[in-house]
Amino acid sequence: MTVVVGPTTTVERIRRPFRADVHNVRSTPTAKALLAGSVVMAVASCVANLSTVADSELSSVATIELAMHSSTVTTLIFSLIAGVVSSTADFRFGRIDQLLLSEPNRAVLLAAKVMVGAVVGVVYGVIGSMVAVATTASYFVANGASLDVGSNAVIHPLIGLLLGTAMFGAVGVSVGTVVQSQPAAIAGSLAWLFIVEPTALLGLPDVGRWLPGVSGLALTASPNPDLLDQIPGGILLVCWFVFSLAVALMRFRRSDF
Amino acid sequence: MIAISVRSLCKDYGTQRVVDDISFDVPYGAVTGFVGANGSGKTTTMRAMLGLIEPTSGHTVFHDSSYAALPDPRRSVGAVVDRIGAHPSHTARQHLMMIALASGVPRSRVADCLAQVGLGEVGDKRLSQYSMGMMQRCALAAALLGSPPILMLDEPANGLDPGGIRWLREQMRGWADDGRAVLVSTHQLAELAVIVDRLVVIDRGSLAFAGPIQELDLTSRTLEEAVFELIAARSDSALGPNRVLR
């Protein structure tokens, strides 16, 4: 009987499925299509919002915030969906069998998948930031204005976007692990973000501002006065992430495949 | 020497008991057939043994520990489960690479295993373009990645053409002759009769027989007839289909 020496540390144990999941994300067309969709939608949303502003007001702080906000919201949503898709694809195509046969410890496997979700989110955040700045600057230049890239109106939303997309990507993996059905998880996430949370924020702002999607908006320094400030928004989003991870772990441990 | 030891394995889904108190051993150096009709509980049992399904009670020991406690599971146990578990847009090479990365197996094993199962020249074709037989060979390659001493194969001949089945039989015999433990499930006994050393027969979730085939007295009947007689004898007893728990 061959003596088998396994991975000696938890870090090594997480590293293996992490690398496998990165390989999955990189080698499937869905991830690339979603990223392309995110860029297109961020540009379109930014231009559509800027086109409603008079040329004389282009360089105002409020306009810059609006431009940043329109791009960051789109990127946040796509990073969440990317996390959902990466996670539910494992269940949809039965890849979870192969991952569990390689790493039977479900907590370790989930940790690796959540980290991949966060990394994918950061990639979305970096690209989304570049798209937001490039689109806004181009629009400003085309309309005779200029964008101060170093201003707080630009920097604060972009820092929030990087952190927010990492969290949204990770939350997406948790949501996908809980729901497991890909169509249901995507439809549920979009319904939550486009119907439940906006309705709650409009009807009951004291409740709505504490919801996860809205806390993501707060983290990206959204100009909406009903939201929490950027740092409390970020802390609240971390709490939502921890909550989603706990539920996902519970569900994953109890699932039969 | 015992490679796999299953003890009192039970699995309930709601009030339905689909695997009922199953115990058997699988030794090294032998091909052990795991047979039963469709829906008799073979796949559930194998998945429960591998930890993909949480058993209601009972346990499985591989050499000296549970699957979850094996230090490097893929290097100890290679499994073909009932679905290949691959993204259809992946090529066989990409699929095996994913498994190699997840299990810490050297990447060079991917090409070795593809060649071993006869997919060396089509390893870069998308799995969605594979025939069922090619998918089965890919699943076998995945099981062999870690060069494990124990192989668990759930219906590995599904989709294989007659030449493929013959190839598979020779492979299984060769693995056992090399000292590996091979547990192979099937509902087609003819596939197994030629090479099997031991048999585990499962009927409606419970064990009908476990032991060397010599115990089945095959002097005047085929293996298939012996198994059917075993199951028929049980049908006459009080057991109903998949017992309902109270």
Residues of B in contact with A102 (CB under 8 A): 73-74, 99, 102-103
Could you give the percent of chain B with pLDDT greater than 70? 96
Question: What are B98-109's pLDDT values in tens digits?
Answer: 999 999 999 999
CB contact under 8 A, A93 and B88: yes
Q: Of B54, B81, B87, which has the smallest distance from its Cβ to A93's Cβ? A: B87
Q: Are A87 and A169 in contact (CB under 8 A)?
A: no
Q: Of B54, B71, B98, which has the smallest distance from its Cβ to A24's Cβ? A: B98
Query: Has residue A219 been placed in a domain?
Result: yes
Rounded CA-CA distance A136/A138 in Å is 5
At a CB cut-off of 8 Å and minimum separation 6, what does B182 contact? B30, B31, B32, B151, B153, B172, B175, B176
Residue of B203, B194, B145 whose CA lies nearest to B168: B194
Q: Is the pLDDT of residue B136 over 70?
A: yes
Token pair for B223: 């293996």
Q: A8-17, A126-135, B88-97, B129-138: lowest mean pLDDT where? A: A8-17
Q: Which residue of A4, A32, A106 is the best one to mutate when testing the B interface, meaning the one whose CB has the most B CBs within 10 A?
A: A4
CB contact under 8 A, B73 and A101: yes
Question: What are A42-67's pLDDT values in tens digits?
Answer: 999 999 999 999 888 888 888 998 99
Query: Has residue A4 been placed in a domain?
Result: no
Which CATH fold topology does B2-63+149-235 show? Answer: Rossmann fold (3.40.50)
Domain extent, residue A242, equals: 10-254
Query: Has residue A2 been placed in a domain?
Result: no
Residue of A114, A46, A44 whose CA lies nearest to A82: A114
- The end-to-end CA distance of chain A, in Å, is 30
Q: Is the pLDDT of residue B52 over 90?
A: yes
Search chain A and give the residue with CA nearest B46: A257
When pLDDT is averaged across residues B221-229 and rounded to a whole number, the result is 87
CB atoms within 10 A of CB A187: 12
Q: What is the pLDDT of residue A12?
A: 86
CB contact under 8 A, A104 and B94: no
Token pair for A152: 């707080």
B236 band by pLDDT with thresholds 50, 70 and 90? low
Burial classification of residue A47, based on how many CB atoms lie within 10 Å of its CB (0-12 exposed, 13-18 middle, 19 or more buried):
middle
Query: Has residue A157 been placed in a domain?
Result: yes
Question: What are A113-138's pLDDT values in tens digits?
Answer: 999 999 999 999 999 999 999 999 99
Could you give the percent of chain A with pLDDT greater than 90? 82
Token pair for A127: 């690209």
Query: Has residue A3 been placed in a domain?
Result: no
Q: Which residues pair with B79 in a beta bridge?
A: B152
Token pair for A185: 């998880």
Q: Are A18 and A109 in contact (CB under 8 A)?
A: no
At a CB cut-off of 8 Å and minimum separation 6, what does A88 contact? A176, A179, A180, A181, A182, A185, A186
Question: What are A72-108's pLDDT values in tens digits?
Answer: 999 999 999 999 999 999 999 999 999 999 999 999 9
CB atoms within 10 A of CB B176: 22
Sketch the domain layout of chain B as residue ranges: 2-63+149-235, 87-147
Q: Quote the minimal CA–CA distance from B158 to chain A in Å.
A: 18
Q: Is the pLDDT of residue B189 over 70?
A: yes
Q: Is the pLDDT of residue B83 over 90?
A: no
Residue of A212, A185, A178 whose CA lies nearest to A197: A212
Q: What is the pLDDT of residue A112?
A: 97
B212 touches chain A (CB under 8 A): no
Q: What is the pLDDT of residue A145?
A: 87
Question: What are B195-211's pLDDT values in tens digits?
Answer: 999 999 999 999 999 99
Search chain A and give the residue with CA nearest B93: A27
What is the ipTM for the molecules in this complex? Answer: 0.92
How many domains does chain A divide into? Answer: 1
Q: At what angle do helices A106-142 and A230-254 cross, to 10 degrees?
A: 140
Q: Of B52, B87, B149, which has the smallest distance from its Cβ to A1's Cβ? A: B149
Helix, strand, coil % in chain B, rounded to nearest 5: 35, 30, 35
B246 band by pLDDT with thresholds 50, 70 and 90? very low
Q: Is the pLDDT of residue A3 over 80?
A: no
pLDDT, chain B, mean: 91
Q: A10-14, B112-116, B241-245: lowest mean pLDDT where? A: B241-245
CB contact under 8 A, B102 and A6: no
When pLDDT is averaged across residues B133-139 and rounded to a whole number, the result is 94
CB contact under 8 A, B53 and A17: no
